[in-house]
Amino acid sequence: MDEENSVLDTQRPPDGEVVLHYEQTAQPIVEYYVQPTPLPGKKKPQSAPLTPKKRRRGRKVFLVCLAVVVLAGAVITALYAAGVLGTAGGGYPGGYERYDSFPETESETRIPTYPNGDGTKLRYEETHGTELTIQEVYERVNPCTVTVMTALPDGSAMVGTGVIFTQDGYILTNAHVIVGGTECYVVLISGESYEAKLVGFDEEKDLAVIKVDGHGLPAAQFGDSDALTVGDTVYAIGNPLGVNLRGTLTDGIVSAINRDVYVDGVTMTLIQTNAALNNGNSGGPLINVYGQVIGINTMKMGSSTTTSVEGLGFAIPIASAAYMINDLIAYGEIHGEVVIGISVNIAPVVAADGGTALEVYEVVKDGPGDQAGILAGDYVIAADGERLTSSNDLIRIRRRHEAGETLRLEMERGGERYVAEVVLRESER
């Protein structure tokens, strides 16, 4: 995700901090499969030559980066078992033939759509229960992790992973799993298959929401990725390297937080982990020790002829992506994050009462903070009644709100207290 900027209440980085920008192009380590039989109700497509996949605008190579399709074996087997795809045949499990080159998928995404604006929201918990064993984490999250298969116009299929977040069938995945598709199917770990409709997606942010007509489905609990620290244990669930390895659980640590990954003109701010992420993990969950999904696995850095790379996986943090996911549900596209229109220093200062506060170093002209009377040099003591001990506290509380809502800030100027009623608004993308 993009770093907070001055419009989005940025934080001034401490002196000497080094932010890495990856200049090496992430390798497109995906596999595609060509269907020997058509999807339900479709004629068998004419065979077409497979050509190298052209780069899409922005971060096309990045989007196809981590494991889109070795999950294919799992979903295809399940779909055949469920009778969705007909009789299996061919040289690969489920009757699909494997191709190492990439099919052309520059066509428009034509997956049937689901109506927006029904009030559904993805919520993540800022608190958590007791720490779980690795077995308990797997038992809790694996049923919520699904296989997503997207049919492409030339008869090939892209396959990835998704995470159910409502019992009636809203599912979060990566945009590159569904882009260019004509139909989409979801398979649960139980083998049940559903036709999915597209709620919304954004290629640049690599996020997509799809919907199946389900009831009482196992829904994952989402947690606060902002609460992560380097060294925390995390887990990933996916289907690396084929049918026989589906549902694989891997573990590791948080290697870095707020890591800028720059690929093909686009920068995303991601969680870095050394948990093994291979073909098949794309769109799957990164999980904390409390069984909460705190990231969506999206890519890994691959080796080249000159560089050997191990243990560099990346996930989209849930805390910074939640508003985007909710925009996709409400509008089918991402509008913008709500902003206060002020920038504060990361390090807290001491207020007149001896407690902590955050010093405002910039106020956006005519922004919400400016209109509420906030000036540079003021101290922010509390937000919505919660005392602030770090700049992350202010960001966390702001993210609870939507555009048009009021954030109540307790302020200090020259040792005197005042209250700023800030009416939040959306940033411009």
Catalogue the active-site residues. 176, 206, 282
For the chain, what's the residue count?
429
Beta bridge partners of 286: 236, 295
Contact 154, 45 (CB under 8 A): yes
CA distance 68 to 98: 13
CA distance 201 to 318: 16
CA distance 158 to 170: 20
Residue partners of 251: CB distance under 8 A and separation at least 6: 134, 233, 234, 235, 236, 275
Type of residue found at 126: E
CA distance 344 to 325: 26
The SS3 of residue 319 is helix
CA distance 67 to 283: 9
Beta bridge partners of 317: 295
| Structure-block tokens of residue 346 | 């990361």
